[in-house]
């Protein structure tokens, strides 16, 4: 059980980040009107707007235009600049010009006087006192019901243009309208890492590529990673085919299958359940648990952050942690924390889609995983210099 906990820890960590932002005690609740003291009497609503007008009842001298006639009608230039202009002759100094922060260091109470005269220095007779602050849901506890729709607003037809052009002619264009206003489909391919690594006595290659196709919520997502030694042989590769669903503003839930390819024939197949998205502070997270057809449960989490040094030069720390719930000797994976990779890559975005990089990658195997590697005389600790390309289209 412990092992399971270790295995799932990355996923849980990611999930908690996910839920932290998703958590909303009221999500999904319908808030009955009883959360409010009492529903506002309908008659109050029409009365509200005029009451908010701070100028209601004020005499605004420049506003007293003779009723409907146009004071400017027929006037030529001189009249234009003459007394009708409420601002004529006013200097209208840029309101509160450039005082950097006159209230710095004041506490909130000190703000009150300042608030009383936002137009200090203006001739307020010609200026209004600022727009009325119409209350909105944010000002009201609970989610107050909205004013009911007048019944006449629901009178047929459903679509006015059907009366003129016929329902058939309109139906096709309505479908287009729906498609063109929100139903955007995209297909992306992201080459996150395509790199060559230089170790103490070997040179390796690696790819880490993914892509998607679909709308905003539902996407087909695929991922592929693989690595090998130049001169030696290709070590392993994996390909995932996932259904991805956006579940919160920043997180996608992904599920599907992963197929591994190894030269020695251990081509395992896994079920995948993952979470991919953006954690606070712009960390890109990809966490997943894998259940193999042999019943082995493993998990991994990757985190990347882009630190812009300039607009084009970007330093990217990257962390990958893998763990397993079971011993899988044939894959040299022991239970518990199996490996950690930490990398630092410096890339230059010639274009946003094309950024070569250099970096270092440190990796280390732990626990029984390390034991397996040591047993065959391998290194459990590796540091290599990498050169590669990040690209997308």
Q: How is residue 128 written in tokens?
A: 């209004």
The minimum distance between CB 206 and other proteins, in angstroms, equals 23
Nearer to other proteins, 1 or 108 (CB): 108
Angle at 316 between CA 336 and CA 349, to 5 degrees: 145
CB atoms within 10 A of CB 17: 20
Q: How is residue 205 written in tokens?
A: 């290659």
The minimum distance between CB 45 and other proteins, in angstroms, equals 6
Cβ atoms of 298 and 323 within 8 Å: the answer is: yes
The minimum distance between CB 360 and other proteins, in angstroms, equals 19
Helix (H) or strand (E) run with residue 100 in it = none
Nearer to other proteins, 209 or 370 (CB): 209
Nearer to other proteins, 97 or 295 (CB): 97
Nearer to other proteins, 1 or 160 (CB): 160
- Can you tell me whether residue 191 is helix, strand or coil? strand
Nearest to 225 by CA among 197, 256, 189, 261: 261
Nearest to 388 by CA among 342, 345, 341, 352: 345
Distance of alpha carbon 228 from its chain centroid, rounded?
35
The minimum distance between CB 181 and other proteins, in angstroms, equals 4
The minimum distance between CB 82 and other proteins, in angstroms, equals 10
- Can you tell me whether residue 265 is helix, strand or coil? coil
Nearer to other proteins, 89 or 329 (CB): 89
Nearer to other proteins, 38 or 98 (CB): 98
Place of tokens 């502070």: 281
The minimum distance between CB 335 and other proteins, in angstroms, equals 35
The minimum distance between CB 28 and other proteins, in angstroms, equals 9
DSSP for 297-353 reads EEEEEEEEE-EESSSSEEEEEEEEEEEESS-BGGGTB-SEEEEEEEEEEEEE-SBTT
The minimum distance between CB 361 and other proteins, in angstroms, equals 22
Q: How is residue 280 written in tokens?
A: 């606070």
Nearer to other proteins, 87 or 203 (CB): 87
Nearer to other proteins, 313 or 375 (CB): 313
Place of tokens 């094309």: 354
Q: Which residues contact 209 (CB under 8 A, 6 or more apart)?
A: 189, 190, 191, 192, 194, 223, 224, 225
Cβ atoms of 294 and 305 within 8 Å: the answer is: no
The minimum distance between CB 95 and other proteins, in angstroms, equals 5
219-226, Cβ contacts within 8 angstroms, sequence gap of 24 or more? 219/243, 219/244, 219/245, 219/246, 219/252, 220/244, 221/252, 221/254, 221/256, 221/276, 226/261
Q: How is residue 234 written in tokens?
A: 């290709």
Angle at 236 between CA 275 and CA 356, to 5 degrees: 70
Q: How many helices (H) and strands (E) does the chain have?
A: 7, 13
Nearer to other proteins, 180 or 233 (CB): 180
The minimum distance between CB 129 and other proteins, in angstroms, equals 6
Nearer to other proteins, 35 or 269 (CB): 35
């Amino acid at each position: 059980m412990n092992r399971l906990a270790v295995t799932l820890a990355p996923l849980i960590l990611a999930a908690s980040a996910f839920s932290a932002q998703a958590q909303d005690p009221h999500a999904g609740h319908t808030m009955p009107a009883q959360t409010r003291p009492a529903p506002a009497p309908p008659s109050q609503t029409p009365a509200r707007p005029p009451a908010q007008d701070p100028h209601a009842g004020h005499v605004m001298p420049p506003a007293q235009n003779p009723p409907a006639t146009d004071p400017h009608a027929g006037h030529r230039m001189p009249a234009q600049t003459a007394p009708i202009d409420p601002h004529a002759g006013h200097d209208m100094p840029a309101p509160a010009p450039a005082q950097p922060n006159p209230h710095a260091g004041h506490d909130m109470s000190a703000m009150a006087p300042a608030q009383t005269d936002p137009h200090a220095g203006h001739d307020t007779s010609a200026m209004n006192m600022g727009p009325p602050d119409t209350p909105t849901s944010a000002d009201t506890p609970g989610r107050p019901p909205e004013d009911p729709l007048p019944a006449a607003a629901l009178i047929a037809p459903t679509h006015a243009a059907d009366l003129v052009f016929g329902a058939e002619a309109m139906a096709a264009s309505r479908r287009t309208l729906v498609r063109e206003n929100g139903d955007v489909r995209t297909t992306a391919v992201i080459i996150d890492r395509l790199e060559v690594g230089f170790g103490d006595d070997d040179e390796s290659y690696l790819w880490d590529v993914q892509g998607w196709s679909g709308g905003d919520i539902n996407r087909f997502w695929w991922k592929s990673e693989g690595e090998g030694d130049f001169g030696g042989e290709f070590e392993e590769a994996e390909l995932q085919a996932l259904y991805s669903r956006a579940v919160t503003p920043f997180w996608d839930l992904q599920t599907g299958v992963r197929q591994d390819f190894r030269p020695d024939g251990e081509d395992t197949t896994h079920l995948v359940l993952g979470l991919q998205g953006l954690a606070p502070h712009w960390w890109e997270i990809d966490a997943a648990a894998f259940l193999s057809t042999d019943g082995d449960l493993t998990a991994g989490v990757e985190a990347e952050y882009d630190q812009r040094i300039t607009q084009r030069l970007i330093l990217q720390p990257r962390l990958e942690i893998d763990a397993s719930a079971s011993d899988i000797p044939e894959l040299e994976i022991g239970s518990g924390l199996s490996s950690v990779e930490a990398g630092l890559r410096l890339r230059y975005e010639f274009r946003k889609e094309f950024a070569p990089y250099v970096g270092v990658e440190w990796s280390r195997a732990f626990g029984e995983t390390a034991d397996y590697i040591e047993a065959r005389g391998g290194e459990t600790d590796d540091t290599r210099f990498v050169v590669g390309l990040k690209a997308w289209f």
